[in-house]
Amino acid sequence: MAHREAPEIDFDHHSEEYGRDPWAANMDLIQRCPVAHSRHHGGFYVVTGYEQVADVARRTDVFSSAHELPNTPGRPQGTIIPASTFRALPLEMDPPEFLEWRRALNRFFSPSTARQLRPRIEAFATWCVDQCIEKGEMDLVLDLSNAVPALLTLDIVGLPMDNWRLYADAVHSLAYTPSGTPEYQQVEAGFAMLIKEVQETIPQRRAHPKGDLISFLTELEIDGKKIGDEDIVAVCNAMIAGGMDTTTALFASTFEYLDRDQAARRWLIDEPETVPRACEEFLRYFTPVVCVGRTVMRDDEIDGFPVARGERVLISWAAANLDPEVFPDPLTIDFDRDTRKHAAFGIGMHRCIGRHIAQTDFEVVVTEVLRRLPDYRLIEGAAERYPTVGQINGYVKMPARFTPGPRTGPDVTDVGDLLPDLGPLW
């Protein structure tokens, strides 16, 4: 097959235009040019068709996830376009190094771990609803969808709960603020405070280990040597950024949809055992992590289009999940659909390591809302979508009202007071 140049398109995944309706934009790209090139952000290829996305994701020898700091044109710049100033491990690694890290960390993120975490997630969800249920109103994002993943993530990592709201807001803002802007620099400063907390906790855990991620990492050996502080921070960076707002976005999109589709809400209320199945379809349609970047490591091609060493490639999980060749009638939410091939957690060896925890988180929080706030309604016009969905597709805020009800959890004001009763993590 003769090489042909990829069509040039005016596409910016961080633009307001894309953020207004990413579903329509993705469908247009899939049908018109599943592989194209954009000059935005220094230039990158855009890959949207499911087959093409899967091909790039699986060929890790050509399309690198690695991140070398400082960012240098032509060298691997990680999974965000434009590149972040933080490195996330093991996400931004390639084989064979990636495989050893992944095997070691799988012990901490296994399905059995997710099952062990369920009582903690239930306690956090109950506490968050308790803070608002007597008032009959809450922000389903700030008071719940953002709060529960933040509390769980801080607990898992091993950080104090004292500043949980500050850190939750910082990670939340990081998700929808475009990198390379003055606003992003301010947001990164807040995230840097959180990373500093991680750095200060490491020596404490080396001296007195606990059952948390930082303690686990202080004992972790790669290639026969314990990993250093810089790598511990990079793993925690990935866990914090990935564990908080991706789940927040999925919750928010789910609650918005169930506000519009009362029949679907009633079905899930009447048959709560179907929530896990609904979770997979919501993941497909409302794919939280919209797209990820790769760096081309040698001259090659994507679907017959040539790509050169050092160029950047953006693969869209969200678009792949709308490919009608794989998911017929993709713009319809169908809880009976076969979603086994959905790409919301990625494709290939870099598939999301925290997916079992995220799925458990979803089941617990959505079930809690349907059980205790069954008649919630969003306040008309008050929900605010992310101004950019270049990384995460979610909501800034989502005020709602419902029939007031009673508190059902322990009578504690400080969420940290729940931890003694929950016992050790592991």
For the stretch 279-322, pLDDT in tens is 999 999 999 999 999 999 999 999 999 999 999 999 999 999 99
- For 388-417, what is each residue's pLDDT tens digit? 898 899 999 999 999 999 999 999 999 988
pLDDT digits (tens, 9 = 90+) for 171-185: 888 888 766 678 877
The Cβ of residue 218 has, within 10 Å, a number of other Cβ atoms equal to 19
Q: Of 344, 324, 323, 360, which is closest to residue 281 (Cα–Cα)?
A: 344
The answer to the question of residue 11 being in a domain is: no
Which range marks the domain in which residue 352 is found? 16-422
CATH number (domain holding residue 199): 1.10.630.10
Name the residue among 289, 284, 309 with its Cα closest to residue 13: 289
Confidence of residue 364 (pLDDT cuts 50, 70, 90): very high
Give me the chain's average pLDDT, please.
93
> Which is more confident, 185 or 169?
169
Percentage above 70 pLDDT, the chain:
99
Residue range 48-83, pLDDT digits in tens: 999 999 999 999 999 999 999 999 988 999 999 999
- Domains of the chain: total: 1
What is the pLDDT at residue 141?
Answer: 97
For residue 18, which amino acid is it?
Answer: Y
Nearest 5°: phi and psi at 26? -65, -40
User: Does residue 76 lie in a domain region?
Assistant: yes
pLDDT attached to residue 3: 60
Q: pTM for this structure?
A: 0.93
Q: Is residue 10 part of a domain?
A: no
User: Is the predicted pLDDT of residue 1 greater than 50, yes or no?
Assistant: no
pLDDT (average), residues 247-267: 97
In the predicted structure, residue 194 carries a pLDDT above the cut 50: yes
Residue 117 lies in a domain: yes
Q: Does residue 7 lie in a domain region?
A: no
The model's pLDDT over 80-113, given as tens digits with 9 standing for 90+, comes to: 999 988 888 899 999 999 999 999 898 888 899 9
Chain CA centroid to CA 337, Å: 23
205 part of a folded domain:
yes
Is residue 232 situated within a structural domain? yes
User: For residue 2, is pLDDT > 60?
Assistant: no
Q: Please check whether residue 1 lies inside any domain of the structure.
A: no
| Chain centroid offset of residue 322 CA | 18
Higher pLDDT, 242 or 161: 161
